[in-house]
């Protein structure tokens, strides 16, 4: 079925208000109910979000875009998607992982999380851009992790002997954006780290979110600060000003 036509914006006084919000305002009605056009648009958005939640990560395709870096693979104890959704504790624990010789200054974990679509689309871009901003760093081979929650990075980072771990993970899809990526940075990763000991950069996507290149700039800044101050989490967040980092006038610490 073809998409139903939207109302003519010239005759719609809601058009100006829609410039201020993506909210589904001024939808009209059919009796008390929504018009069919809106019902189907909503169902399509929900379907895309659900597909993003349940889509498996295409590991081979992700490995290809990480070239020339050869990726390691890791998987959590959540063996399937249903278990993953029900048992976040299993998604935080490592079942198996390829080995690499450390130690490293930092490790990057590309984790499916709740949206493999987000990782597929944006994680490699953030990884490559961050690496360009970290010359001289000893960086572990990138780790592609499946069935992963954020805290899985703690065990992966510890195994690699990395001083910092950055987990690039798919965020819970919303109706408007099914492919938003988040990054969680943890100093001295090891099992048992609390969420308050991490720094987060969220809302990374290309539909009006934080662009991957800017996210990488923020991440590299946080990584340098974290290593020099030997911490991540609340203590680091207090000093860093993400707004200033994201501003277009911001001069990058090193180009």
Partner 1 sequence: MGCWGATAGGERHVFDGLAYLLAAASPRRSGDELAGLAAASDAARVAARYALADLPLRIFLDEAVVPYEADEVTRLILDTHDPAAFAPVSHLTVGGLRDWLLSHEADGAALAALSPGLTPEMVAAVSKLMRNQDLIAVARKRRVVTAFRSTLGLEGRLATRLQPNHPTDDPRGIAASTLDGLLNGSGDAVIGVNPATDSVPNAMALLHMLDELRERYAIPTQTCVLTHVTNAIEIMRRGAPVDLVFQSVAGTEGANRGFGVDLAILREAREAALALGRGGPSGEVMYFETGQGSALSAEAHHGVDQQTLEARAYGVCRTFKPLLVNTVVGFIGPEYLYDGKQIIRAGLEDHFCGKLLGLPMGVDVCYTNHAEGDGDDMDGLMTLLGVAGVHFLICVPGADDIMLNYQSLSFHDVLALRSMLGLRPAPEFEAWLERMGIAEPGGAIRPPPLAQSSLLQLARDHG
**Which lies closer to partner 1 via its Cβ, residue 79 or residue 131?**
79
Dist CA 202 CA 200 (whole Å): 6
d(CA 157, CA 187): 9
- Percentage helix, strand, coil for the chain under 3-state DSSP, each rounded to 5: 40, 20, 40
Binders of partner 1 among residues 219 to 248 (CB under 8 A) are none
Rank residues 175 and 231 by Cβ distance to partner 1 and give the closer one: 175
Distance CA 103, CA 149 (A): 24
Q: Please give the size of the binding site for partner 1, defined by CB under 8 A.
A: 39
Tell me which residues in 92-131 interact with partner 1 (CB under 8 A).
114
Binding flags for partner 1, 2-41, as an x/- string (CB under 8 A): -----------xx-xxxxxxxxxxxx-x-xxxx---x---
The beta strands (E) that lie in the chain are given as 72-76, 94-97, 104-111, 143-146, 162-170, 181-187, 198-204
Shortest Cβ 107–partner 1 spacing (Å)? 27
43, exposed or middle or buried, with CB in 10 Å at 0-12, 13-18, 19+? exposed
Residues 143-202, interacting with partner 1 (CB under 8 A) = 172-176
30 known ligand binder: no
200 belongs to an annotated ligand binding site: yes
Within 69-98, which residues bind partner 1 (CB under 8 A)? 85-89
65 annotated binding-site participant: no
Residue 230 neighbours by CB under 8 Å, 6+ apart: 187, 188
Residues in contact with partner 1 by the rule CB under 8 A: 13-14, 16-27, 29, 31-34, 38, 42-43, 45-46, 49-50, 52-53, 85-89, 114, 172-176
């Amino acid at each position: 079925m073809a998409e139903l036509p939207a109302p003519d914006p010239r005759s719609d006084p809601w058009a100006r208000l829609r410039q201020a919000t993506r909210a589904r305002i001024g939808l009209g009605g059919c009796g008390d109910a929504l018009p069919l056009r809106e019902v189907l648009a909503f169902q399509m958005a929900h379907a895309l979000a659900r597909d993003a939640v349940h889509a498996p990560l295409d590991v081979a395709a992700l490995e290809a875009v990480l070239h020339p870096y050869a990726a390691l693979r890791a998987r959590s104890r959540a063996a399937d998607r249903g278990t993953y959704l029900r048992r976040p504790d299993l998604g935080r624990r490592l079942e198996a992982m390829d080995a690499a010789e450390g130690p490293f200054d930092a490790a990057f974990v590309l984790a499916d999380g709740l949206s493999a679509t987000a990782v597929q689309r944006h994680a490699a871009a953030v990884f490559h851009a961050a690496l360009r901003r970290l010359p001289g760093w000893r960086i572990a081979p990138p780790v592609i992790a499946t069935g992963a929650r954020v805290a899985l990075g703690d065990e992966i980072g510890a195994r690699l002997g990395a001083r910092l771990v950055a987990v690039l993970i798919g965020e819970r899809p919303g109706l408007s954006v099914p492919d938003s990526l988040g990054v969680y940075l943890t100093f001295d990763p090891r099992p048992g780290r609390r969420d308050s000991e991490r720094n987060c950069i969220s809302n990374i996507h290309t539909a009006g979110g934080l662009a991957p290149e800017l996210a990488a700039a923020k991440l590299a800044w946080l990584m340098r600060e974290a290593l020099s101050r030997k911490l991540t989490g609340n203590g680091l967040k207090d000093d860093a000003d993400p707004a200033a980092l994201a501003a277009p006038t911001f001069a990058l610490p090193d180009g």
